[in-house]
Chain A
Amino acid sequence: MSEPTEGSVRQESRNWLEANWDPDLSLVEWRNRLVDSGWGAPTWPVAWHGRGLSDPLGRVVEAEMDRIGAVGVARTGIRNLAAATILVHGTDMHKEKFLRRILTGEDTWCQLFSEPGCGSDLAGATTRADFRGNKWIVNGQKVWTTSAHHAQYGLLLARTDWDAPKHQGLSFFIIDIEQPGVDVQPLRQMNGHASFNQVFFTDAEIAPEFILSETGNGWAVATTTLMHERRGADSLRRYAKASNRPGRVYEEEAAEIAIQLEPYKWYPQRAGRVDLVIERAKATGAFDDPAVRQEIAKLLTLSRAAEWTARRARAMQDRGGPQGPEGSLGKLAASNVARMAARVHTLIAGADAMLAGPDGALDGVIAEVLVSVPAVSIAGGTDEIQKNIISERVLKMPKEPRSDTKGPFRDVPRNTVG
Chain B
Amino acid sequence: MQFTFTEEQEEFRRYLRRFLDAKSPAVEVRRLMETEDGYDPAVWRQLCTDLGLPAVQIPETYGGQGFGFVELGIALEEMGRALLCAPYFASAVLASNAILNAGTEEQKRELLPPLAAGEVVATLALAEESGRWDSAGIAMTATRTGSGYTLDGVKSFVLDGHTAGLIVVAARRAGTVGDAGLSLFTVDAEAPGLNRRLLRSADATRKLARLEFSGVPAGLLGKEGAAAAPLAKTLDQAAVCLASEMVGGAEHLRESALEYVQMRMQFGRPIASFQAIKHKSAELLLDVELAKSAAYYAAQAADDDADDLPAVASLAKACAADAYTRTAIEAVQMHGGIGFTWDNDTHLWFKRAKSSEVFLGTPAYHRELMMQRWNG
Which of A302, A329, A391 neighbours the largest number of chain B CB atoms within 10 Å of its CB? Answer: A391
In angstroms, how far is the closest chain B Cβ from the Cβ of A324?
8
A/B pair count, beta carbons within 8 Å: 119
Q: In the bound complex, do residue B367 and residue A387 qualify as a contact, i.e. CB atoms below 8 Å apart? A: no
CA A265 to CA B269, docked complex, whole Å: 47
> Which residues between 341 and 376 of chain B lie within 8 Å of chain A, taking CB atoms?
364, 367-368, 370-371, 374
In angstroms, how far is the closest chain B Cβ from the Cβ of A197?
32
Question: How many chain B residues touch A (Cβ–Cβ < 8 Å)?
Answer: 37
In angstroms, how far is the closest chain A Cβ from the Cβ of B5?
10
Q: In the bound complex, do residue B290 and residue A297 qualify as a contact, i.e. CB atoms below 8 Å apart? A: no
CA A290 to CA B372, docked complex, whole Å: 11
State whether the Cβ of A314 lies closer than 8 Å to any Cβ in chain B: yes
Binding-face segment, B45-53, B83-91, B291-299? B291-299
Provide the residues of chain A in CB contact with B368, threshold 8 Å. Answer: 290, 293-294, 297
CA A333 to CA B285, docked complex, whole Å: 11
Binding-face segment, A178-186, A305-313, A365-373? A305-313
Provide the residues of chain B in CB contact with A304, threshold 8 Å. Answer: 294, 297, 315
In angstroms, how far is the closest chain A Cβ from the Cβ of B282?
4
Q: In the bound complex, do residue A397 and residue B4 qualify as a contact, i.e. CB atoms below 8 Å apart? A: no
CA A326 to CA B288, docked complex, whole Å: 10
Provide the residues of chain B in CB contact with A311, threshold 8 Å. Answer: 1, 3, 293
Minimal Cβ-Cβ distance residue in A for B270 = A398
Provide the residues of chain A in CB contact with B315, threshold 8 Å. Answer: 297, 300-301, 304-305
How many chain A residues sit at the interface, stated as a range, is: 35 or more
> Which residues between 289 and 338 of chain A lie within 8 Å of chain B, taking CB atoms?
290, 293-294, 296-298, 300-302, 304-306, 308-309, 311-312, 314-316, 319, 321, 325-326, 329, 332-333, 336
CA A325 to CA B296, docked complex, whole Å: 16
Q: In the bound complex, do residue A302 and residue B285 qualify as a contact, i.e. CB atoms below 8 Å apart? A: no
State whether the Cβ of B278 lies closer than 8 Å to any Cβ in chain A: yes
CA A199 to CA B290, docked complex, whole Å: 39
State whether the Cβ of B9 lies closer than 8 Å to any Cβ in chain A: no
Minimal Cβ-Cβ distance residue in A for B375 = A278
CA A301 to CA B281, docked complex, whole Å: 21
A401-B319 contact given A308-B297, A333-B286, A395-B281, CB 8 Å threshold = no
Minimal Cβ-Cβ distance residue in B for A394 = B285
Minimal Cβ-Cβ distance residue in A for B308 = A304
State whether the Cβ of B189 lies closer than 8 Å to any Cβ in chain A: no
Q: Which 8 A-B pairs have the closest CB atoms?
A: A297-B367, A315-B3, A391-B278, A308-B293, A305-B290, A398-B273, A390-B282, A387-B282
Q: List 6 A-B contacts (CB under 8 A).
A: A293-B367, A311-B1, A388-B279, A390-B286, A397-B278, A401-B269
Query: Which chain A residues have a beta carbon within 8 Å of chain B's beta carbons?
Result: 278, 290, 293-294, 296-298, 300-302, 304-306, 308-309, 311-312, 314-316, 319, 321, 325-326, 329, 332-333, 336, 384, 386-388, 390-392, 394-395, 397-401
